[in-house]
Structure 1
């Protein structure tokens, strides 16, 4: 095989070694090679498979009874299931406003607890199925010894702001929403967390704190996310609000310890 044939087929060993090293630090599609004037067939098929997985993640309905059984094992009460005004995935995608308003919240008990958790399907019900219960368990393990926690709520056809209405019905001081993030071509099962202190309908996005990209092992881990949330909850209660004025300081102790160690070594 000639040098030109190797380059055309995208099998140049030097080129492959260069890109393979960089691929270890990113899920992005880089250095895909060439087959003539197009991508190699394998790369095209990988792209189409990723696109199909992202579409499926958006449209696949959440299995609420199965999720509720698993959520019950976390030990913070029987979950209540609610839905938004969107009547299905099609309307949910076309009308984001309907996903922010509740259909009926009468089944939610008013607990007056300090913390409340909402598990929303969002734009990736698959993400909630894959990671929701494990993430909730990590959050409860991190927070339950410091705060009272209301029974959890599972919300379908849900946007983030639906949680404000749910929190008002629960009577909680701080709300933590676990919700499926918009799938991409690298990740279709990523969860996000949105924290709102003193939640109420009409809160702006600037009143919330977001932790995204939760999907171990490639993304943020459950325990790591829980520690960030614990720091934000503590900070929000001291500050009296969440949002743009509240910063994540969960790594401050680690950094201080590292600086101290460095000083001792020197």
Structure 2
């Protein structure tokens, strides 16, 4: 029983790594920049590993390709929808959004994704997994014990560090608004009425960031760049490493309360990155 569990641990990590490679390549092409796509710090996308081992365990005896495709597509969509909902409830943040795709369900899953996962299920269960299982059998028993133990401990530590770093992401966005609001009056004096800072009860600074991105400031592009760098410095002081990584890794990241500020901040970062290219 222990040996079977250790094999599933290794398979989970292997397919999580494959998912990370797939996601990183796909999103890097879409964003036209290198993207380290992963919820964890390590090169793993756990949802792919979970989906793969569930498919192997439940569908391993299904040999009819069409049935395997349908079951894989439906099962993966259920897993993706539940994961999206659960992560949003836990972190008040939506990590991916398919609203821009046709035939999507609440932006959490879409038809194209279902087709990809269905094909992936057929390929993994029908073709890849037999070779992976054979390779696993070649690992000496003692090495299997230590390898699975060390890797799962490292993955659990990575998970704890990641969750601890991002659990207060919404609060950090609110802190950013408060930090920028402290010098908003000074900014207004320098640029006159060109920057209309909205400092309402929620403390949002989206209009200020929007002006920095669009560049309509009275003194021209130079002042716009100065304003953007000041906001960037404020963001660097508020967000921890995990939160900054999430902003970079998930281009469609959305939050419940401060999403407008987040999207304007992301647009500002993208403009600054283009200026350095």
Q: TM-score, normalised by structure 1?
A: 0.29
Q: Identify the structure with the greater strand proportion.
A: 1
Larger % of helix: which? 2
- The alignment's TM-score, normalised by the length of structure 2, stands at 0.28
